[in-house]
Structure 1
Amino acid sequence: MAHIDLGLDEKAHPGINGPMRFRPETAKPLNALAEALLRAPHPTLSPGERELIAAYVSGLNECVFCCASHSAFAAAQLPTGMTLVEQVRRDLPTAPVSGKLRALLEIAAAVRRDGREVTTELVEAARAQGATDLEIHDTVLIAAAFCMFNRYVDGLGTWAPQDPQLYETAAVRIVEHGYGTS
């Protein structure tokens, strides 16, 4: 049960969905941020890769709902699906991703610990793997935003379903219609 009365059935509106319905005036800009970061056209990072960054940070933050949902959203948009997502989350150094994506995920992990841990060395390592300033910027912003989203969900003590099918169903809706849809 959430820490506050959200005025709705938590099982029907798990995770971030309950607080978003509780405060639609704050949900609108939060959904717009998620849409811009994760789905808007990007010259080089696919929606699946951006969702993978969100899932990776959420996993490191141990936010069950966000990790499960964004893992499903990433899997729905990556060629090797959940297998890749799980490999990245389990063991980034050996996961079959490009050197550039690995370096960006390392930056995301540093942001998650403390933004000041993003060092010149991490940025230079990403650039050496071909990362652009835009990709570095967007990785930092996705990681920072997901620290906020994770704390929003967990700080209110929302319910996270255990059934992976619920997240897969949500992934279909997000991929087809984007954030801010019910």
Structure 2
Amino acid sequence: MELQSIFERIFRRVELPLTFSQGFHPLPLISFGRALPIGVTSKKEWVNIFIREPFTPEEVFKKLIPALPTGMYPVAVEKLTLSKKQAQPYAETFSVEYVGDEARKDDFIQAFKDMLEEESIMWTRPTKKGDRTMDVRPVFAKVIFNEDNITITLDWTTNYVSPVNIVKAITPGFDILDFKMTKLDQHMP
């Protein structure tokens, strides 16, 4: 089921009247953050939902708590005007957990350590307009080595690239099935 439909049902159930678009086929005014890459899970996402009647953020928060699906809960509710667009995060923090062949785990971790020693890491990816090369090293704002994973904070102020592709760029020879990524946080302006 489409996420927009889920939120539409939730808001009807808790009697928060949604605002709808104009036109032949009106849809609820709901917008989401940047889509997660395939294979990446998240512990923190945002959604903008416009309602027709005035409610305080506290009222909306209290109504949403019992209505959201298991495992999904509101962290914060903020009032926006129709003219205010939600900014995209300038950085995001991810957990990267190696889940591949245990014999190669140290090589995977070493690739991150080697990356920290480099001033630049050039990476080329194919696009519709031809190959595009960029330096992915500046995207890494912070890297923390934990006992069972690596926590990385990626800075999107100059470029956004799929975080999965960023990890693949610095771990050549490893496949997407060798690691698991979870978005832990997004840093908003």
Tell me the TM-score range normalised by the shorter chain: under 0.3
TM-score between the two structures when normalised by the length of structure 1: 0.23
Q: Which has the higher helix share?
A: 1
TM-score between the two structures when normalised by the length of structure 2: 0.23
Higher relative contact order (CA 8 A, sep 6+): 1
Q: Which has the higher strand share?
A: 2
| Structure index of larger Rg | 2
